[in-house]
Structure 1
């Protein structure tokens, strides 16, 4: 037996109650989307005597989460990034500058959203 509000014969609601081509329901007033979410990729540079390793770390979250990930990456670079000749002269500097540039990009986006 089926009921008008539940047309499925097994008693469960339909998986998609909106037929194809029907517009999706619109949110009415009072809906709060929450804080803006950002995505950033920071580099962790590890210097070794003969070679170097760069690890990209992608972070998605609020502006505070992105800043925390930035400082983790910068701290890693400042502690472990100097232990090789090429890292000391080139690679670690590039990572530090790129991380700062990525945070500046996120900060501009956060200011546009009124978050920072």
Structure 2
């Protein structure tokens, strides 16, 4: 017999947001789009550094499917694609800001 307690119903909202933000780069992707309002794919990739093109593509698509990011494709050659936050994504900005403040106050650079 296990001593584990069943999951609490009030944890479901935390599970939903964890599922959305579970990608290694998603918080940073949201942060840069929020800071610059509009980001092109190449700009995001340069800002993030070590991310691969396929990982960035996958995580942007997931954020788009989850309603945090919108994608706009210009009909030109070569194609130009821009990403911005949706209204849902914009409502997440205060959370990102609080995460940044908490990190500045509680985590030293050696924790990275």
Give the TM-score of the pair, scaled to structure 1. Answer: 0.27
Tell me which structure has the larger Cα radius of gyration. Answer: 1
